[in-house]
């Protein structure tokens, strides 16, 4: 039995829980080492395991032996993926492939039903092949001239035989050749092309068009521990301070992104009921599936079919359908379906939700388009989140549903592409993509040292060139669907698609919450403070007597007495220093100091004064990161009665330091 | 490109069956949820998986 899930994180959660229930199963996904994966596959084949919890890692290629049944947990999102996955069972000609989709939540149930119907009636979403990708062309041209001088026109005729390049013009190919010549990879002469020395290493370095996945280390500032790693793609696409996400079953908020050291600093999220902004490596829901979900909503709302008929047509049962029936039947006003866009004001979250059953790519396109125009008008930036059925705008005060509706009705479809292009410039996503494209044209070497590259200048130089164009094309192909977004706006103009205002509804609020299933514990603030206290008390400090200058000892904070005294001279003037401040102790013993050294000594005396006045509490505060004598005094002077309040103040100071650290160093 | 090609339909209908379910939360799921620290809804799904396995 195979249990397919959509993300590695889900695989871990489901796997660990099934193991706790005593089932002989294992987890299989791309983040596990090859050795682990192979051994799990072997065990499964031998029948030692009853099930594997897996991601797309198990979709293709691997011979896994007999599989009786496939479970898909949550919607597989694409019809072809459902067929691929369920097809792993009964893997021979005469046996029936058998699959069960386990759905949770409103969107999920409807989506699974639609995908089951489409799959079993043989309707698969359309598949778009990227046309005229220039990076692949550049790489292939270098490969072609590897053996010696070649005729460019001959190459052109060969390339045109391939389907994705059927419409390529010779001028477009020539542009690529010019770019490669400028990068010093080839030489052109009278229609002939010859390789230069660098071409060989360029060719081998860039055979794969998949960018190297760099990992970011994720460090929790509260416990000062590494909690895992995140893909670079996540960090550049969504990783801005404030973003919340789930990893290892817990929710975190980004405090600071450190691009140079490939590190992000996070803090635990304690607000109950908060929904993470970032869900994970999400598979986009195609337009066709999202639209049929709209149709199904309409069928239920308008009662055009009985519940039993629907259950039969969509391969499900009454009980499962009853979970969505309740929500749709209670809906007031018009239900958002395949022909109706409903715009809702959600005042409690100061957001506007555009209910739009068009799938991820169209919604991302429309969302970016709307945000670009509204931000321009409002003069301030507007946040956006999308899912396959909604576009959610975080709006500044004063923006109304009516504004969004008139914008959708009056926009010129032909403007979409230009507006989106403009809005992409300057985003992290664009920069990251640009770097990858530039590598594939040999403009930047594959293992570039970032501290030596001025990315902004590079972007300026290449502004408007075809490398720039290629970057835009790639983003548009991967994440958006301009053609269908235009179609939607066209339908609105012609009156074939309605845009209406509606009250904040359950349907509008559903979604954006699937990732919450990955949360194992919702932690209380108390547990965060507890972890912080524990860490602070484990920190090492150096106690140094500034009175006799003869006592110096490294000690754990927890072992410091309430009012520390110098065991040599009995003075209470002890400075509590961080381990790396030890070298400054020598300054105190010297005379005639100037400048920096003098100020270090003054700080040590101030430190000792604070410890004398406040005792152990001062030592605790001074052990925290980024807390020097000034901050410590500010915290201690509050004379907090409750211990928790005191620690909370220190934690806040550490957060502040983490946020602003790069300005100090 | 003027080459002589013939397009054949190679669709092979391999028999397939799919069901969509969303397990109802039962009393026992609350206890299971507590034992393996998860939500009752998730526990119901896991119970269903265990039944199918």
Phi, then psi, of A157 in degrees rounded to 5: -65, -30
The answer, yes or no, to whether residue A518 has pLDDT greater than 60, is no
The answer, yes or no, to whether residue A270 has pLDDT greater than 90, is no
Question: Do A223 and A188 belong together in one domain?
Answer: no
Question: Do A176 and A226 belong together in one domain?
Answer: no
Q: Name the closest residue on chain B to residue A320, using Cα atoms.
A: B22
* Helix ranges, A441-540 (H): 455-462, 466-479, 482-494, 506-509, 525-538
Q: With CB atoms and an 8 Å threshold, state whether A315 touches B19.
A: yes
Domain span including residue B36: 21-53
Question: Do A49 and A183 belong together in one domain?
Answer: no
For residue A402, the tally of other CB atoms under 10 A from its CB is 11
Question: Do A404 and A482 belong together in one domain?
Answer: yes
Nearest to B53 among A23, A96, A323 (CB): A23
A305 assigned to some structural domain = no
Domain boundary (A253, A268, A283) is at: A268
A353 assigned to some structural domain = yes
Distance from CA of B1 to the nearest CA of A (A): 8
Pairing of strands A540-545, A552-556: antiparallel
Question: Do A258 and A361 belong together in one domain?
Answer: no
**pLDDT category, A214, cuts 50, 70, 90?**
confident
Q: With CB atoms and an 8 Å threshold, state whether B46 touches A93.
A: no
Question: Do A505 and A384 belong together in one domain?
Answer: yes
Domain count, chain A: 5
pLDDT digits (tens, 9 = 90+) for A545-583: 999 999 999 999 999 999 999 999 999 999 999 998 888
Distance from CA of A351 to the nearest CA of B (A): 28
Which whole-number Å values give the CA distances from A560 to A32, A265, A554, A605, A621, in the listed order? 44, 30, 10, 19, 13
Distance from CA of A126 to the nearest CA of B (A): 16
Question: Do A545 and A402 belong together in one domain?
Answer: no
Whichever domain contains A13, its CATH number is: 3.40.50.300
**pLDDT category, A665, cuts 50, 70, 90?**
very low
B51 assigned to some structural domain = yes
pLDDT digits (tens, 9 = 90+) for A593-628: 788 888 889 999 999 999 999 999 999 999 998 899
Q: Which residues pair with A271 in a beta bridge?
A: none
Residue whose C-alpha is closest to residue A78's, from A46, A29, A111 = A111
pLDDT digits (tens, 9 = 90+) for A392-425: 998 776 789 999 999 999 999 999 999 999 888 8
Residue A101 CA to residue A108 CA, distance in Å, equals 10
A273 assigned to some structural domain = no
Q: Which residues of B touch A (CB under 8 A)?
A: 1, 14-24, 32, 35-39, 41-42, 45-46, 48-50, 52-53
Chain B residues inside the 8 Å CB shell of A20 = 35-36
Question: Do A479 and A379 belong together in one domain?
Answer: yes
Whichever domain contains A193, its CATH number is: 1.10.10.10
Q: With CB atoms and an 8 Å threshold, state whether A86 touches B35.
A: no
A492 assigned to some structural domain = yes
Question: Do A502 and A568 belong together in one domain?
Answer: no
CB contacts < 8 A, A to B, total 108
Domain span including residue A195: 134-205
Instruction: Report yes or no: A177 and A193 within 8 Å, Cβ to Cβ.
Output: yes
Max mean pLDDT among A260-269, A481-490, A510-519, A636-645 falls in: A481-490
Q: With CB atoms and an 8 Å threshold, state whether A317 touches B41.
A: no
Share above pLDDT 70 across residues of chain A, in percent, rounded to a whole number: 91
Question: Do A198 and A228 belong together in one domain?
Answer: no
Distance of CA A593 to the CA centre of its chain: 51
Residue whose C-alpha is closest to residue B23's, from A326, A69, A104, A313 = A104
Q: With CB atoms and an 8 Å threshold, state whether B52 touches A1.
A: yes
B40 assigned to some structural domain = yes
B3 assigned to some structural domain = no
Distance from CA of B53 to the nearest CA of A (A): 7
Question: Do A588 and A474 belong together in one domain?
Answer: no
What's the mean per-residue pLDDT of chain B?
Answer: 85
Domain count, chain B: 1
Question: Do A551 and A410 belong together in one domain?
Answer: no
Residue A33 confidence (pLDDT): 76
The answer, yes or no, to whether residue A128 has pLDDT greater than 70, is yes
Q: With CB atoms and an 8 Å threshold, state whether B19 touches A100.
A: yes
Distance from CA of B30 to the nearest CA of A (A): 14
B38 assigned to some structural domain = yes
pLDDT digits (tens, 9 = 90+) for A289-305: 999 999 999 999 999 99
Q: Name the closest residue on chain B to residue A158, using Cα atoms.
A: B1
pLDDT digits (tens, 9 = 90+) for A527-548: 778 888 988 999 999 999 999 9
A387 assigned to some structural domain = yes
B15 assigned to some structural domain = no
B45 assigned to some structural domain = yes
Query: A373-401 burial by CB neighbour count: b if 16+ within 10 A, else e?
Result: bbbeeeeeebebbbbbbbbbbebeeebeb
B44 assigned to some structural domain = yes
Residue A6 CA to residue B22 CA, distance in Å, equals 17
């Amino acid at each position: 039995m195979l249990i397919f899930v959509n993300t590695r994180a889900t695989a871990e959660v489901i796997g660990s829980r099934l193991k706790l229930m005593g089932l002989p199963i294992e987890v299989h996904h791309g983040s596990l080492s090859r050795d682990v994966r192979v051994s799990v596959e072997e065990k499964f084949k031998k029948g030692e395991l009853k099930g594997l919890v897996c991601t797309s890692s198990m979709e293709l290629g691997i011979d896994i032996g007999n599989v009786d049944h496939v479970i898909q947990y949550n919607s597989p999102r694409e019809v072809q993926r459902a067929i691929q996955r369920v097809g792993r069972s009964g893997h021979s000609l005469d046996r029936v492939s058998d699959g069960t989709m386990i759905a949770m939540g409103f969107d999920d149930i409807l989506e699974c039903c639609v995908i089951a119907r489409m799959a079993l009636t043989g309707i698969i979403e359309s598949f778009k092949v990227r046309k005229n990708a220039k990076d692949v062309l550049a790489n292939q041209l270098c490969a072609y001239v590897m053996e010696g001088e070649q005729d460019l026109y001959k190459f052109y005729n060969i390339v045109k035989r391939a389907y994705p390049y059927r419409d390529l013009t010779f001028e477009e190919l020539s542009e690529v050749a010019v770019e490669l010549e400028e990068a010093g990879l080839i030489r052109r002469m009278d229609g002939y092309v010859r390789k230069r020395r660098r071409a060989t290493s360029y060719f081998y370095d860039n055979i794969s068009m998949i960018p190297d996945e760099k990992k970011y280390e994720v460090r929790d500032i509260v416990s000062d521990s590494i909690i895992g790693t995140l893909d670079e793609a996540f960090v550049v696409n969504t990783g801005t301070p404030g973003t919340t996400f789930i990893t290892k079953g817990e929710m975190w908020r980004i405090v600071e992104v450190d691009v140079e050291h490939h590190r992000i600093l996070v803090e635990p999220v304690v607000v109950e009921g908060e929904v993470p902004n970032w869900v994970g490596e999400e598979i986009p829901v195609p337009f066709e599936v999202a639209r049929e979900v709209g149709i199904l909503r309409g069928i239920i709302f308008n009662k055009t079919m009985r519940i039993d008929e629907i259950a039969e047509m969509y391969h499900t049962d009454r009980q499962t359908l009853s979970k969505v029936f309740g929500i749709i039947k209670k809906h007031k006003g018009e239900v958002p379906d395949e022909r109706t866009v409903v715009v809702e004001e959600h005042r409690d979250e100061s957001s506007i939700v555009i209910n739009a059953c068009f799938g991820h790519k169209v919604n991302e396109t429309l969302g970016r388009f709307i945000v670009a125009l509204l931000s321009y008008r409002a003069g301030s930036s507007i946040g956006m989140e999308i899912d396959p059925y909604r576009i959610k705008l975080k709006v500044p005060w004063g923006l109304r549903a009516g504004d969004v509706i008139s914008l959708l009705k009056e926009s010129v479809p032909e403007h979409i592409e230009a507006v989106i292009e403009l809005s992409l410039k300057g985003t992290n996503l664009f920069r990251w993509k640009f770097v990858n494209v530039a590598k594939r044209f040999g403009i930047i070497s594959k293992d570039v040292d970032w501290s030596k590259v001025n990315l902004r200048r590079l972007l300026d130089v290449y502004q408007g060139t075809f490398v720039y164009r290629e970057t835009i094309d790639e983003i548009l192909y991967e994440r958006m669907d301009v053609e269908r977004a235009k179609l939607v706006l066209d339908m609105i103009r012609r009156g074939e698609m309605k845009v209406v205002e509606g009250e904040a509804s359950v349907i509008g609020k559903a979604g954006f919450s699937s990732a919450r299933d990955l949360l194992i514990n919702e932690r209380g603030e108390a547990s965060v403070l507890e972890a912080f206290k524990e860490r602070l008390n484990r920190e090492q400090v150096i106690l140094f007597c500034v009175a006799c200058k003869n006592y110096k000892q490294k000690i754990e904070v927890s072992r410091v007495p309430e009012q520390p005294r110098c065991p040599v001279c009995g003075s209470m003037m002890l400075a509590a220093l961080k381990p790396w401040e030890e070298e400054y102790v020598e300054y105190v013993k010297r005379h005639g100091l100037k400048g920096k050294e003098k100020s270090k000594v003054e700080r040590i005396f101030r430190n000792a004064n604070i410890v004398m006045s406040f005792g152990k509490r001062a030592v605790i505060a001074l052990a925290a990161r980024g807390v020097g004598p000034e901050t410590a005094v500010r915290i201690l002077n509050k004379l907090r009665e409750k211990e928790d309040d005191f620690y909370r103040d220190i934690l806040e100071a550490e957060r502040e330091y983490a946020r602003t650290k790069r300005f100090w160093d | 490109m003027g080459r002589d090609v013939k397009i054949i339909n190679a669709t092979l209908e391999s028999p397939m069956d799919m069901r969509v379910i969303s397990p109802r939360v039962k009393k026992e799921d609350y206890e299971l949820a507590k034992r393996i620290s998860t939500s009752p809804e998730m526990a119901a799904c896991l119970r269903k998986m265990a039944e199918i396995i």
